[in-house]
Amino acid sequence: MKVVKVVGIVLGAVVLTVVVLGLVAPKGYHVERSIIIHAPRSLVFNHVRYWASWEEWIPWAAMDSTMRTTAEGIDGTPGSKYLWQGQKVGKGEMVNTGVVPGEEMTYLLRFIKPFASESNGCVRAKEANGTTEVSWAFFGRSPFPWNIFNLVMSMDKMVGKDYEAGLQRLKEVCEGQWARVQQHHVGPSTFGPRRFAVVRKQVGMNELQAFLGQAYGTLMTALDKQGVTMVGAPCGLYYTWDESTGSTDVAAAVPVTAATTGLEVEVVQIPASNCLVVDFRGPYEKSIEAHLALEFHLRNRGLRQKPPVIEEYLTGPAQEPDPEKWLTRIYYLVE
């Protein structure tokens, strides 16, 4: 009986200790780091909002050479996912839970292996005396009795350095891109009047290249059938670019003479307009820096852009096998 009594006392003491520690231990955790980046907020936020851009700056890939990542959904919008798996980093996912354009992206951080847990995270960007201050945080609740471990284990010390390393890499990426953006020469010019045969459609941004390839084929067939000759380089006419839905209202366009009639595709006329223009040399997917240069030029001069944005593909894969030598002339029409 004495043994049973002693065991009962010991167990009671252990339970009481656990309860007391659970009551005094922190119920949650919060890790946050910030950094100043010498680049415009809109440019920086492009690297915060999209999972594809996270690949450039998150620190964990460098820690695990076996890490593999995939993405699901419309990148940059709520519900899109970033999934990873590796021997050291385990298995998990991040789910976009909300976007305030230019300001904040929130997400759910879910670990699956080697243990299951969920936390919330966010990345915020704000103007800071001509620079951009970025704050990266994650936080969550520790249920009883697991919150006892918060007394002896600091989440901030465990992962704080990783967040600092990630933000430092983000700074390098953004400041490097901003330096390249400023190298683009943006000049005033005029565009039009020009007449185009077009195939126009609202498509997802991830479907854009496939649509343009098919649409140019349709256009060339229509021109050949009617004996019509192109009078310039093919173009892309971008009437909208909606990042909230991941879609664009775009027309594949080829210039034709004003006298063209009878085509089985739509013919549109773009009247003469003042514009800003920049020449970009390189693969199409890297033209974002030329567009950023045009956008900042517009903003700094208080100009208002009107649709469509026009990309004129002066040199492409049909003429030059090296994508770095492709030449695209980009026009932003201004009111």
pLDDT digits (tens, 9 = 90+) for 164-200: 999 999 999 999 999 999 999 999 999 989 999 999 9
Q: Does domain 25-181 have CATH number 3.30.530.20?
A: yes
Q: What secondary structure letter does DSSP report for 321? A: S
Kindly state the tokens that stand for 119: 């936390």
pLDDT > 70? residue 15: no
Domains of the chain: which residue ranges?
Answer: 25-181, 187-334
The position carrying tokens 């944005």 is 309
d(C-alpha 45, C-alpha 125), whole Å = 7
- Is residue 166 a contact partner of residue 58, using CB atoms and an 8 Å limit? yes
Check residue 291 and give its pLDDT: 95
Q: At the fourth CATH level, which superfamily is domain 187-334?
A: Regulatory factor, effector binding domain (3.20.80.10)
d(C-alpha 240, C-alpha 233), whole Å = 22
- Is residue 180 a contact partner of residue 292, using CB atoms and an 8 Å limit? no
Please give the model's pTM, rounded to 2 decimal places: 0.75
Quote the crossing angle between the two packed helices 288-300 and 41-49, to the nearest 10°.
140
Query: Rounded mean pLDDT of 222-247?
Result: 90
Sheet holding 235-242, edge to edge: 187-191, 273-281, 327-334, 305-315, 235-242, 247-256, 194-204, 266-270
Quote the crossing angle between the two packed helices 155-181 and 288-300, to the nearest 10°.
80
pLDDT > 70? residue 20: no
d(C-alpha 239, C-alpha 202), whole Å = 10
Q: What are phi and psi of 40, to 5 degrees?
A: -60, 150
d(C-alpha 175, C-alpha 38), whole Å = 6
Check residue 94 and give its pLDDT: 95
pLDDT digits (tens, 9 = 90+) for 56-103: 998 887 788 889 999 999 888 999 999 999 988 899 999 999 999 899
